[in-house]
Amino acid sequence: MLGKKNSINVNIKNHGEKDMINIKPKHHLIKIEETMSKSTKIEKLETILWDRWLLLRIYCEDGTIGIGEGGVHGWQRPTKTMIETMSKYLVGQDPSLIEHHYQWLYRSSHFMGSVVQGALSAIDIALWDIKGKRLETPIFDLMGGKTRNKVRCYMHVNGSSIDELVISAKNAVKEGFTAIRFTPFADNYFLHKSYSEWTDEAVKRVGAVKDAVGSSVDICVEIHRQMAPAESIWLGRRLEQFNPFFYEDPMLPDSPAIMSNISEQCNIPIATGERFTSIFEYQQIIESKAASYVRPDLCLCGGLSGCKKVSAMAEANHIKVIPHNPLSPISTAACVQLDACIPNFALQEYTGESEPPKSELLINPLVLDNGYLVVPEEPGLGIEINEKTLSQPENPKILDTPLGFDGSVQDR
């Protein structure tokens, strides 16, 4: 693309490493002015239910196509319907008015929620992709410029038994990851006979992983909202000895005040926010001093626009950002654009994209280099969908809410 080929590379010293600054030549700026003088309109929206994910493409009259993804886990079809409802407003509109369109659609009803925000997030990401492609520059350039060249990731590891968990952790380290995340509970955590049995097993699992990977690898412990506050406080205190990078979702994220109490009584940084759908929920968690890390989901919390706002709120309170990303490579590409332009980035969730169907979705997948995703320089999101893979059938989430020994509903 013109924006990439005509950039001038300048080497500067930065903590002993070489960095790259892209200076756009004059004729590139003229090209941008020509592009902006040629207005275009949104022609149509296309939603695709692909495997477990909801993908979106927005087509413009000038031929530009923007890519997005909606991230309401397990509720892809309702989110698809919401996008189709919103498309009646968007068709015929100027795609460059990203914030205006978000505000119009968000405030068009008395009712908000995850399905609404999942749809708006997909639209926001796709509109940013359109703007980047029309201006022939990466999205991070439009959001303040690059603050890093690569993005440190943590890899999910798992195993039913302690031995399986340790093997998974060692394999991730062999692949170059310097941070891993796992739950300290076995798959049947909801069938524990006593609190002591439950927590003793959790401590053993965390200790075994820490012993296996050593101090050169950060371990991240995910509670998955599966404990009551009192339980997570006591478990957190026992896990302090292993120096976790973060202690994620130690309770349901519905009370910032109570989560703040957990934070005060555990000497482990709390990470939370993957279920939040608006900046206002983050405002409450930040004001309550309940978390050291926030976990915005770009496909749920207002897209790139919403999560850039969350990042700025966090920065003003010395809180770092760990974007939530359990979705497709489109979500990953959007996350990397955000990670590249914010100063308070900490880690990027990564679930692996080397196996089908994820490995087949993009023509040129993002480059993973020793546990780091390289920030792409191509325009927009820097990705292109492989049309041949879109025949991948839908794989809807099966509702399988766990029940305890007594038949009561358990959280997950």
Q: Are residues 259 and 223 in the same domain?
A: yes
pLDDT, mean of residues 35-64: 92
Please report whether residue 127 resides in a domain: yes
Please report whether residue 403 resides in a domain: no
Q: Are residues 97 and 161 in the same domain?
A: no
What is the spatial distance between Cα 137 and Cα 191, in angstroms, rounded to a whole number? 52
pLDDT, mean of residues 76-81: 92
In this prediction, residue 40 has a pLDDT band, given cuts at 50, 70 and 90, of very high
pTM of the model: 0.90
Output the pLDDT for position 26. 54
Residue with tokens 């997950």: 412
Q: Are residues 28 and 154 in the same domain?
A: no
Q: Is 126 exposed, middle or buried (0-12, 13-18, 19+ CB in 10 A)?
A: buried
Output the pLDDT for position 287. 96
Output the pLDDT for position 338. 98
Output the pLDDT for position 227. 92
Count of domains observed in the chain: 3
Percent of the chain with pLDDT over 90: 77
Output the pLDDT for position 20. 46
Output the pLDDT for position 397. 79
pLDDT, mean of residues 159-166: 96
Cis peptide before 357 (omega within 30 of 0): yes
Output the pLDDT for position 9. 44
Output the pLDDT for position 237. 97
Output the pLDDT for position 110. 78
Tens-place pLDDT, residues 356-378: 999 999 999 999 999 999 999 99
What is the spatial distance between Cα 236 and Cα 217, in angstroms, rounded to a whole number? 19
Please report whether residue 408 resides in a domain: no
* Residue 36 predicted with pLDDT over 80: no
Output the pLDDT for position 402. 84
DSSP H or E stretch at residue 97: none
Q: Are residues 50 and 32 in the same domain?
A: no
Output the pLDDT for position 1. 40
- Average pLDDT of the chain is 90
Domain ranges, residue 63:
42-140
Percent of the chain with pLDDT over 70: 91
CATH number at residue 173: 3.20.20.120
* Residue 11 predicted with pLDDT over 70: no
In this prediction, residue 392 has a pLDDT band, given cuts at 50, 70 and 90, of confident
pLDDT, mean of residues 200-205: 96
Q: Which of these three, 83, 111, 140, is where a domain ends?
A: 140
Q: Which of these three, 89, 109, 140, is where a domain ends?
A: 140
Give residue 6's Cα distance to chain centre. 31
pLDDT, mean of residues 388-402: 85
- Strand partners of residue 373: 151, 368
Tens-place pLDDT, residues 271-305: 999 999 999 999 999 999 999 999 999 999 999 99
User: Vertex 346, ends 345 and 351: CA angle to 5°?
Assistant: 110
Q: Are residues 89 and 16 in the same domain?
A: no
Strands 42-50, 53-60: pairing is: antiparallel
What is the spatial distance between Cα 72 and Cα 384, in angstroms, rounded to a whole number? 23
What is the spatial distance between Cα 324 and Cα 293, in angstroms, rounded to a whole number? 11
Q: Are residues 156 and 298 in the same domain?
A: yes
CA distances from 328 to 24, 351, 385, 395 (A): 32, 9, 11, 13
Structure tokens at 242: 């292993």
Q: Which of these three, 140, 164, 183, is where a domain ends?
A: 140
Q: Is 72 within 8 Å of 114 (Cβ atoms)?
A: yes
Q: Are residues 161 and 271 in the same domain?
A: yes
In this prediction, residue 71 has a pLDDT band, given cuts at 50, 70 and 90, of confident
In this prediction, residue 24 has a pLDDT band, given cuts at 50, 70 and 90, of low
Please report whether residue 409 resides in a domain: no
Q: Is 379 exposed, middle or buried (0-12, 13-18, 19+ CB in 10 A)?
A: buried
How many CB atoms are located within 10 Å of the residue 214 CB?
8
Q: Report which of residues 13 and 67 the model is more confident about.
A: 67
Please report whether residue 406 resides in a domain: no
CATH number at residue 104: 3.30.390.10
- Strand partners of residue 242: none
* Residue 193 predicted with pLDDT over 80: no
* Residue 13 predicted with pLDDT over 60: no
What is the spatial distance between Cα 345 and Cα 349, in angstroms, rounded to a whole number? 12
User: Vertex 41, ends 378 and 327: CA angle to 5°?
Assistant: 50
* Residue 384 predicted with pLDDT over 60: yes
Residue 348's nearest CA partner among 370, 327, 372 is 372
What is the spatial distance between Cα 303 and Cα 69, in angstroms, rounded to a whole number? 9
Q: Are residues 176 and 303 in the same domain?
A: yes
Structure tokens at 193: 């006979």
**Side-chain half-sphere of 307: how many Cα atoms within 13 Å?**
41
Q: Are residues 18 and 166 in the same domain?
A: no
Q: Are residues 136 and 171 in the same domain?
A: no
Please report whether residue 404 resides in a domain: no
Residue with tokens 């994220």: 253
- Where would I find the beta strands (DSSP E) of 308-383? 320-321, 348-350, 368-369, 372-374
Q: Are residues 365 and 237 in the same domain?
A: yes
What is the spatial distance between Cα 183 and Cα 158, in angstroms, rounded to a whole number? 7
Q: Are residues 279 and 320 in the same domain?
A: yes
What is the spatial distance between Cα 162 and Cα 200, in angstroms, rounded to a whole number? 12
Please report whether residue 15 resides in a domain: yes
Query: Rg of the Cα trace of the chain?
Result: 22
What is the spatial distance between Cα 70 and Cα 363, in angstroms, rounded to a whole number? 21
In this prediction, residue 28 has a pLDDT band, given cuts at 50, 70 and 90, of low
Tell me the one-letter amino acid at 192. Answer: H
Output the pLDDT for position 178. 98
Please report whether residue 23 resides in a domain: yes
